Amino acid sequence: MLTVHPDQLQTIKDHGERAYADECCGLLIGHSVLEEGIWHRTVQGVEPAPNAWDKQTEWPQTEGFSTTRRYAIAPEDLLRTQKVARALGCDIIGVYHSHPDQSAVPSECDRKWAWPQYSYIIVSVQQGIACDLQSWRLDEHERFQSETIIVKSHQQ
């Protein structure tokens, strides 16, 4: 279960629209609590990051794929966000990215590179307009399962 504020979702959608036709990406910071076998994550902040897929030499570059079909967060952006999260008393709890002209469903590449402790928000951006947004998490069999998004203001 992932609790987010409407402004945070709007930040993700806006980032996806600005980056179109490339994939956008960023990190979610907040808190995670495991209750009765279910992760409850609350987003405290959204940290956009540049898509560094084309700049990373240590990752395998799949023929024909670029930032239009892949994303990567550079180590220095991950470190910067870890510092921001710690200063707020939070952790990195997830990743978001867009799927230009594709559904908000994880790809095999998304699954292969995912970490089980994170939530993964995917926003579908069709012809430059964000139209669907879903959250996913890896289960114990390394398969993505849909994760419920609860939209809640900070005052509630």
Q: Is residue 138 part of a domain?
A: yes
Q: What is the pLDDT along the chain (156 residues), one digit of tens a residue?
A: 999 999 999 999 999 999 999 999 999 999 999 999 888 999 999 999 999 988 655 555 555 567 888 899 999 999 999 999 999 999 999 999 999 999 999 999 999 989 999 999 999 999 999 999 999 999 999 999 999 999 997 654
The single residue listed with the structure tokens 């469903």 is: 105
pTM passes above 0.85: yes
With contact defined as beta carbons under 8 Å apart, do 26 and 95 qualify? yes
pLDDT for position 66: 78
Examine residue 32 and state whether it is found in any structural domain, yes or no: yes
Position 48 scores a pLDDT of: 98
* Residue 110 belongs to some domain of the structure: yes
> Given this model, what pLDDT does residue 67 score?
82
> How many other C-beta atoms can be found within 10 angstroms of the C-beta atom of residue 143?
11
Residue 63 domain-assigned? yes
Please tell me the total count of domains within the chain. Answer: 1
Which CATH number characterizes residue 47's domain?
A: 3.40.140.10
Phi and psi, residue 11, nearest 5°: -60, -45
Find the domain containing 58 and state its range. Answer: 2-151
Domain membership of residue 156 (yes or no) is: no
